[in-house]
Each structure stands twice: as C-alpha cells, then as structure tokens.
Chains A and B, each alone.
Chain A
Amino acid sequence: MPTYVLGVSALYHDAAVALLCDGVVVAAVQEERFSRLKHDASLPVRSAKWCLDRAGITAAQVDWLVFYEKPLRKFERILTNAVATFPRSYGAFPRQMRAWLGDKLWLRGNLCAAFGVRPERVLFSEHHLSHAASAFYCSPHDEAAILCLDGVGEWATTSLWRGRGSEIEPVAEVRWPHSLGLYYSAITAHLGFAVNEGEFKVMGMAAYGVPRFRAEMDPLLHLEPGGGFSIDMDKFSWHWHASEAGGAKLQAILGPSRFPGTPFTPTAAPHDGSPSEIEECQRYADIAATAQDQIEDAVLHLARHAKAAVGGDAICLAGGVALNSVANHRLAAEGPFADVWVQPAAGDAGGALGAALWVWHSVLGNPRGPALRRADIGRDTPIARSREILEDLGGRPEDVGDSAPERAAEDLAAGRVIGWMNGRCEWGPRALGHRSILADPRQAATRDLVNQRIKYREPFRPFAPSVLAEAADQYFDIPAAASAPVRFMLSTAPVRDAARGQLGAVTHVDGSARVQVVDADSSPDYHRLISRFGELTGVPVVLNTSFNLKGEPVVSTPVDAMASFTRSGLDVLYVDGLRVERPR
C-alpha cells in the first residue's frame, strides 16, 4: 500500500496543499486557484479535495496530514512580543487574540474537521523547516546550504540549514522582529503598494531609480560583521502596530509616503506629469532602488556567511524574499556558490510541499527522489469538459488538436495577443507557459498595449520573455549559477546589447529581463510554440505574463479563462487543443 502525505499551508497567506504518494508529488495547488480570492489564506479544503480526487483516494487513506508550522510556538512569539512592546501594542493585541482564540489555537481539531483525517494522523512541521525542505528536497543537490528568507514564521525570519542526502540540519537563524521580508514590505507600503502583493511592483519601480538614499537607509538595515543583519526597530512599527509597518519615524527619514494609486511618472517613464510630480516620482523610484539594492546586498552577505558556515557548491533558497528575481541574479552572478536553486513556490504556499517532503524524508526516513523539474503540477480540466464549457459560453471553439502550439505561434506572429491555457496549472506565482498571456516581444508598443488593454496594470511594470533553451545565450547573459532559477523565471538577466532592438517589449528600462528559459523536456508544448514563432520571425522568444486580470488570481479552469478573455482585449484564447477567436 502506498503512503500518502498531505502537506497543508494556511491561515497566514497563500494557503496551499501538496499531496505525495510514496514521496512523489501527485499534485500541488494553491487555494486561490479554486476560491478565486488572490492570496486566499483559508484552510485549503477545495485544493485538498481536488488532490485526493486526482490520486483516486479518500481522506481516510491519507497516512499523514502535516501542517507547515507550529501554531503554539507562533502563539508564544505573539504573546512574548505583546509583552515586549507593551504598551504600544495595545491596538494589535485584541486583533491578534481574536484571531487566535477564535480559530488558530484549535488547529488540530479544525484540520481534522476540515480535511476528514483522524487526530493521530496530524503532524506539524516548522515554518522555516518547511521552507528549507521545499528548497532542498526539490533540488537536484545531494549536499547544499539552504537559506530561507521571509517575513516571519514562528520566531525565525531568516534561517540557515545544511542539507545532506535526506537530512536537513539547522545551523543558525535570525529572529523576529529583525526581518528582511518585513523590511521590504514596510518600504512597499511606504511606496503606496499593498503588502504581500506590491513587492513585485517595488522591484519593477526600482529599475527607474538610483540607490541614492543608502546613507539614510543603511542604518535602518544593518549588515553585521558576523554575517547576519539587524533592523533598527525603533524606526519601524511592524512589531507593535495593528496595521502599519513603517510609521512616523520612517517618514521622517524617507519623506511622506506615496498615496496609493498615484500615477507613477519618473523621468524615464512615459508620462504627462508636471515637473514637481516627476521629481516626486523620481524620489519614490530612488527609494525603491535603494531598498532593492540593500536587499540584494543583504542576500549576498547572508550567502557569503552560508558559504563560510556550511560550505559546498550549491545553495537552495526559499521564503518570500527568494522570489526577488533581481537579488537572485546578483546572488548567481556575484555570490560564492556555483549553483543556485530556488523553489518555484518560494512563498508560504511552498511550505505545504516542503512540510510533506520533510515528513516523507526526514520523519519517515525515506531516501531522496528525483528533483522537481517542472512546475505544472496543479489543476487541469478534461478536454471534453473544456469543449462543453467553451461552447456553452458562446466561444465557438475550433478544434486544432495537437497543432495548437504551432497555430498559437502563427497568431503571435500575426500580431495577436493570446491567452494560452495548456495542461496543468503552475506551482508558484509565475506563469510558465501553462496559464500565460503571450504576445510578440519585439515591439515596445506591445508592452503598453498588454498593460493598458489586457492586464489593466501600471505602465511601468515590465513583462517577461520566454526563450528557447537553445537560443538563451544568444539573447541573454545568464550566469552559469542561475541556470536552474531561470527555468522557473526566478532570476533576471541582462539582455545582450545586440538583442535589445529585437526585444523591445520585454527589456526593462535598466536593460534586464526576468527571463524564462524553456526546454523541450519539461515544457514540450511551450517549446514547440516558441520554436515555431522563431521560425516565423527569426526571434525564438515570446512575451509571457500570467493569465489573469488585475486583482485576480491566475486562471485555472476554462470558465476562468473565458471570463478573463471576454473582459479583456485578448484576441485569441487557447484551451488545450481548442482555439477561440474574439467575435468581431
């Protein structure tokens, strides 16, 4: 009888489920793809049901359900923190207690009730251990240093581990309230973006600025000679305020915070702002650039310490900060490790997979399995149902069968922007050619069109290119150490000078791109699509952005796809072998 382990992460952000059958991933899905609520943190009941159905089992057949963190240890941290920040935390305390007393403290019972497993089958990992396990066990490395960087788990906000075979051993940690993730979030909020959502926007904005505030901001995030870091907690409020991370003291240093939704018109962006508006935007861009620069330096600093303390050639990363693709590039290009590996769902969703793998390898003592090479381990829809849905919703699908990739390439070459839904959903926040909006990458005008007419998002945000593995080197300067992260779109790379003219829509203002390298083994259909586009245009690169509209999770079903298709300016929709054209 096979052993089933169900990993669950929930109740903070990005709830998810991962199901293992004898250590092999059956499926891993984020609850937002079912509930359609972006970053949904509720107990991922729908995801679990889908995964069990996929495996053809019932909840009674689950051998172990593992939650990705230790709730009581987290509660202890919250209580200790309330005492330590007394009396300033008087506003946060009732809120936190309500959430805990109402729900989170009774987790074992709630998990049993929600997922239908018996209490003696429920286990609890630790937050950073789950991150570490997700990074190491999914990697191809038998030995590696593991670095986890996020907001906070139980106590740890940054942790270093040594991975060897099926063992993960803790080395050191940086503890709450000192947190790189929360530092970046505080700056995100200062720049007028939503925390846990706008961090990518800060990264995009940073390219428009120069890090000219290092003198002011370096005392806030101090890199210590011992290889760690500390935060000047006096200037921040995330450890005591109910909703703010920055506050008055931060504003005294950085100036007033940016009002959410204000147009962003720095010098280098297309704008119609007045000189004073431009100057103000430039200041925000420079703050973003400084914070980004600091985070990159911090990641390098921590990685150098990891090299000294753990050694080896490879480093595995997880935690929300590991989604910072610019920092990952610098780690690969300048850092001490020959190989960098980042788990595609590096945020808290990934904890579900990590917790399950930890139980399988570390608790149950099983040897390592193959590395995670593809990200399409999520939800899919049988073609018969897709056809029925598309017909019923008035899509008039054309059956293009196995030639969908080639047909799609021809659409792209003809200047159409397409919604591309193919096979199973990706694991992690990036769309990697299974739930993507695709377009011709050659003209900068395409970027503006997709931003304005399709994604309805800020004009300063860049789009990513997907390139054939065979041609990657010709277009991008990818450091050898980044060869794994670029497969999951987790590292940027400079666009080669000669190629910039051909990649106007996907080259960011600083000459970089968040490239995805596509190989025929792990993404056969997508590889065919890009190959054909290359044959037609001479450029084996496409513009790839996640298939969703502003404020919504990435589409997962044909219904989601049709809803996004109909409400946006997409020209053509592909759902597996079916092609739908926008009615004229």
Chain B
Amino acid sequence: MGVFRRAWLTVASEFSWRMPGRPQRLLAAFSLAERGSMMDMLAAVEATTRRDMRRKYFVHALDEGRHAKIFADRVRDFGQAGRADAALEDSGQLLQAGIVGGQTLFERFGEEKFLAFVYVAEADAVEQFNVYLERGLPDDATQATLRTILKDEVFHVAYSRAEVEKLRKEGRAVDKMCRDLRLARVWERYLRFSRDVGSFMSGIWLTILYFVVLAPFRLLARTEPGGWQPAATPGVDRLAAARAEG
C-alpha cells in the first residue's frame, strides 16, 4: 500500500498545488484539518482514564491548534482573509467536511485504537508533507511553513509510535490494528467521495424534479403579505395537537 500511496500523493500533489487558486484552498483545508485534530486531541484529554497520557494529548492538541493558525495565516498571505477566517472560525465547515461530527475519535475507538490511529494518521501526514517538500511544492514561503510544522508532526509520530510499541510489548495485535485503520481510512475516503458523487447526482434529479413537477403549481402560488396576520387558534385537545409533527 505504501507504494500506491506514494504514487498517488505524487500525482495528487502536482494537481493540488499547481492549479490556479488551489494552494489557498488546500492550505485552508489543512487549517481545518489541523483544527479538527486539535478538537479530537482535546476530546481525548477529556475522555482518557490514563493520567500519564493527558499531558501528551494536551501538548499535541496545542500543537495542532498552532498549526491551524499557521496555515490560516498563510492563506491570509495570499490575500484570502475570508477563507482563512472561515477555516479558523466556522465550525460548520468542519462538520460539512466530515472532519468532526457525531462521535469523537476517542469515543469511536477507545484508547488503544485511538493511539494506533494517531500514529497512522500522523505518519501519513509526515509522508504527505515530505512529498511536497521533495518536489519543491508549492513555493518557498509555504515550504518554510511546512518545515516548521513538520518538526511537530515528527514528534507526534514519535510519541504515538512509542505508545503503540508499549502496547505491542503487552501482547496487543497492534500491527493488525494499524493495518485495519489504514484500510478504514482509505474506505472512508472512498465513502466521502461516493457521498459527493451521490449528492451531485441527487442534485441533478432534484433539479429536474423542480422544473417538471413544481412548475405547474406556480400558478397556484401566492406570496405572503407583510404586516400582522391573524394567528391560528389552538385546538382543544392539546396533547393530540402536541403529538402532531405538522
């Protein structure tokens, strides 16, 4: 899988960075992702029962928060203040991009698998950044940014690997855990992609529906006048009325 991933990263990096307007978009997406991992790490601080891990997760969270800000500042350098602010501030975007929402990673995985996930995800990030740097993408200033961040990421890989190794010594099947997680990450990416395709397709169908089915009703439509209108008086059986959804 490593070879495939690397090949994919190489191709994707050209596409990601060289298209006009893409670097800003990508950096904003990085900022969002970093913010998402800050939130996941803080949720782990909250949820863990291992007191020795709290501090590590916390420091990790602060790193990711700082990265989110660094990436947003870089977007701002491109003169895209709006996008940078959205990346830092608008949590709706985190939900939309599927970065957070529903369960936190810790709730989903429990401590051991969470640690394995951190290791896998951080290692992936390091590899991804290294591919960009090796290919000299996208520009000097952004590369400097990536290098600064990379130092922290290497640390994240190191501490999570150390924890995973401890688990291995305790006889846990960590290799299988990591393998499953890598597959799950690919699978989730596929799911997200197919969801996007699905919503694109449903958008087409709904647009057709809109023009074909709704059009005739246009004649019946009326717009509400402004000003005070009489309000409907409530029925006598309040419980029955309260049960109704409409």
Contacts and interface: CB of A to CB of B under 8 A. Distances in A.
Interface of A: 35-40, 42, 66, 70-73, 75-76, 80, 82-84, 86-87, 89-90, 93-95, 97-98, 107-108, 122-125, 155-156, 159-160, 170-178, 192, 194, 197, 222, 224, 226-231, 233, 259-262, 305, 359, 362-363, 388-389, 392-394, 550-551, 557, 559-560, 562-563, 566-567
B81 A262 contact: yes
Contacts of B86: 194, 260
Interface stretch (B16-24, B57-65, B108-116, B171-179): B57-65
Nearest to A178: B226
B164 interface: no
A72 B51 contact: no
B206 A94 contact: yes
B81 A557 contact: no
Contacts of A72: 244-246
Interface stretch (B7-15, B117-125, B184-192, B207-215): B207-215
A420 B203 CA distance: 48
A174 B227 contact: yes
Nearest to B65: A567
Contacts of A224: 226-227
Contacts of B76: 261
B84 interface: yes
Contact of A107 (B220, B221, B228, B245): B245
Nearest to A128: B231
B55 to A, nearest CB: 6
B214 A230 contact: no
B234 A124 contact: no
B245 A36 contact: no
Contacts of A227: 228
Nearest to A194: B90
Contact of A259 (B81, B102, B233): B81
Contacts of A84: 221-223
Contacts of A37: 39, 91-92, 94-95, 100-101
A83 B221 contact: yes
A172 B226 contact: no
Contacts of B215: 86-87
Interface of B: 39, 42-43, 45-46, 51, 54-55, 58, 61-62, 65-66, 76, 81-82, 84-86, 88-92, 94-95, 100-102, 199, 202-203, 206-207, 210-211, 214-215, 217-218, 220-234, 238-239, 242-246
Nearest to A179: B226
A560 B246 contact: no
Q: What does DSSP make chain B's interface, helix, strand, loop or mixed? A: helix
Given A359-B242, A388-B51, A566-B62, A260 B82 contact: yes
A102 to B, nearest CB: 9
A173 B42 contact: no
Contacts, number: 187
A72 B243 CA distance: 12
Contacts of B55: 392-394
Nearest to B35: A551
Contact of B227 (A42, A228, A261): A228
A233 B86 CA distance: 29
Nearest to B61: A563
Nearest to B39: A36
A75 B246 CA distance: 9
A557 B226 contact: no
Contacts of A228: 226-228
29 contacts: A37-B94, A37-B95, A66-B242, A72-B246, A75-B246, A86-B214, A86-B221, A93-B214, A98-B206, A108-B245, A123-B242, A123-B243, A177-B224, A197-B90, A227-B228, A228-B226, A230-B225, A230-B227, A231-B226, A259-B82, A261-B81, A305-B228, A362-B238, A393-B45, A393-B58, A550-B88, A550-B89, A551-B88, A563-B65
A57 B218 CA distance: 51
A95 B203 CA distance: 7
Instruction: Please indicate which of the listed interface residues A178, A226, A227 has the most CB atoms of chain B within 10 Å of its own CB.
Output: A178
Contacts of A71: 245-246
Given A550-B89, A563-B61, A73 B224 contact: no
A224 B226 CA distance: 9
Nearest to B84: A261
Contacts of B226: 174, 178, 222, 224, 228-231
Contacts of B242: 66, 123-125, 359, 363
A392 B54 contact: yes
Contacts of B246: 70-73, 75-76
Residue in A86, A156, A359 whose Cβ sees the most chain B Cβ within 10 Å:
A86
